[in-house]
Amino acid sequence: MNIQFTYLPGDGIGPEVGAAALFVLETVSDVFAHSLQIEAQLIGGAAIDAGEKPLPDATFESCQRTGAILLGAVGGPKWDHLTGADRPELGSLLPLRKRLNLYANIRPCKPYDGLLDRAPLKRDRLEGTDFVVMRELTGGIYFGAKGRDAGGAYDECRYSEAEVERIAIKAFDLAMQRRRKVTSVDKSNVLETSRLWRETVEQVSRRYPEVTLEHLLVDAMTMHMLTRPTDFDVVLTENMFGDILTDEASVLCGSMGVIPSASLSDGTIGLFEPIHGSAPDIAGQGKANPIAMILSAAWMLRLSFGLEAEASAIEAAVAGALDASEVTGDLGGALTTAEVGRAVAQRVRNAA
């Protein structure tokens, strides 16, 4: 098969973890006799530095055409003085997600066995943790009117019933393939959008009698996630809460550098990216953990190309590398970003 995708390394550690993931993909396509057609494009600060818009037309066109996108990260201190849509975050990543209608962002939290003793939480709390966060990605406060007025600033948060309904359906459908439990997280004691969220999720849940539905307020959820992480199966939440809760979930998994994500729509387009950012504090030093990016590439093979065996081969190789402590400093190891990429690739080759 010809694996054609758009590669957006972006900023900071994006190109470093990206290079490791490409190395693994090259090995996989060699071992499984595929060809790779990589369309590298500019995005974020890298695009701005090249004199382009944060999301150049050629980049968007490539994403739309290939329908499979592997992205590193955007943003960093160099572009923090910029405002509004001139910023890498607001001018590239958000419009990319919005224009491709990628409203369903899936972020898994399943600590690898090899990491149970490396995570900040105790092994007995973590063992058996296996949940997925279904984060709404194209609505809410990120996309409402924002601006300044006399003496202040505002960010409007809006959700339509249709937006809540479609992400709830994704969550319940996923729960039907898993342990049949949905935990919906909101702030319905305060926010009107959360009251709509809760009502709509209740309505959708009536179509899924086999699925147990639990509602939690987001403040309490930050605590429950750490004290009883094994109780969750599918965690359904809105855009900003999902952003915050998944960084917290990374603590259960040992590092920000191990959680991949898929952003999907109703069609076939998929955007695959680690949940972490450009990590300016470690960029350019070979310290970044490439596992989240490598797992994002595996998800792209599975979900955009239907290459299940290839995706599983990468995931097994990652598990093997973690078991053997072939890891970067964030997980207590001594390997560089590129060395982890090579270790995972070697394991893919050895297993073939």
Nearer to ligand NAD, 11 or 186 (CB): 11
Question: Is the C-alpha dihedral spanning 296, 106, 218, 210 positive or negative?
Answer: negative
Q: How far is the CB of 289 from ligand NAD (least distance, A)?
A: 3
Nearer to ligand IPM, 3 or 134 (CB): 134
Question: What, of ligand IPM, ligand NAD, Mn ion, none, does residue 26 touch, CB below 5 to 8 Å by kind?
Answer: none
The label of the residue with tokens 């299940």 reads 308
Give bridge partners of residue 6 from the DSSP assignment.
39, 69
Phi/psi region, residue 67 (left: phi>0; alpha: psi -120 to 50; beta: rest), is: left
Question: What, of ligand NAD, Mn ion, ligand IPM, none, does residue 289 touch, CB below 5 to 8 Å by kind?
Answer: ligand NAD
251-262 as b/e: b if 16+ CB within 10 A: bbbbbbbbbbbb
Residue whose Cβ sits closest to ligand NAD: 277
Q: Tell whether residue 83 is among the known ligand binding residues.
A: yes
- Binding segment for ligand NAD (CB under 6 A), chosen from 52-60, 270-278, 301-309, 338-346, is 270-278
Nearer to ligand NAD, 10 or 139 (CB): 10
Q: From CA 171, how far away is CA 104, in angstroms rounded?
A: 9
Q: Tell whether residue 84 is among the known ligand binding residues.
A: yes
Q: Does residue 243 touch Mn ion according to CB under 5 A?
A: yes
Contact positions toward ligand IPM, by CB under 6 A? 75, 89, 93-94, 243, 275, 277
- Respond yes or no: is residue 187 known to be catalytic: yes
Q: How far is the CB of 184 from ligand IPM (least distance, A)?
A: 19
Phi/psi region, residue 45 (left: phi>0; alpha: psi -120 to 50; beta: rest), is: alpha
Q: How far is the CB of 199 from Mn ion (least distance, A)?
A: 27
- Respond yes or no: is residue 11 known to be catalytic: no
- Respond yes or no: is residue 323 known to be catalytic: no
- Respond yes or no: is residue 170 known to be catalytic: no
Q: From CA 218, how far away is CA 237, in angstroms rounded?
A: 9
Q: Tell whether residue 87 is among the known ligand binding residues.
A: yes
The label of the residue with tokens 């966060």 reads 133
Nearer to ligand NAD, 18 or 75 (CB): 75
Question: What, of ligand IPM, ligand NAD, Mn ion, none, does residue 288 touch, CB below 5 to 8 Å by kind?
Answer: ligand NAD
- Respond yes or no: is residue 112 known to be catalytic: no
**Positions 11 through 70 that interact with ligand NAD (CB under 6 A):** 13, 17
Q: Tell whether residue 76 is among the known ligand binding residues.
A: yes
Nearer to ligand NAD, 17 or 253 (CB): 17
Q: Does residue 273 touch Mn ion according to CB under 5 A?
A: no
Nearer to ligand NAD, 132 or 279 (CB): 279
Q: Tell whether residue 85 is among the known ligand binding residues.
A: yes
- Identify the active-site residue in 112, 170, 187, 233: 187
**Positions 311 through 350 that interact with ligand NAD (CB under 6 A):** 330
Q: What amino acid positions are annotated as catalytic residues?
A: 142, 187, 219, 243, 247
- Which residues carry a binding-site annotation for Mg(2+)? 219, 243, 247
- Which residues carry a binding-site annotation for NAD(+)? 76-89, 277-289
- Which residues carry a binding-site annotation for substrate? 97, 107, 135, 219
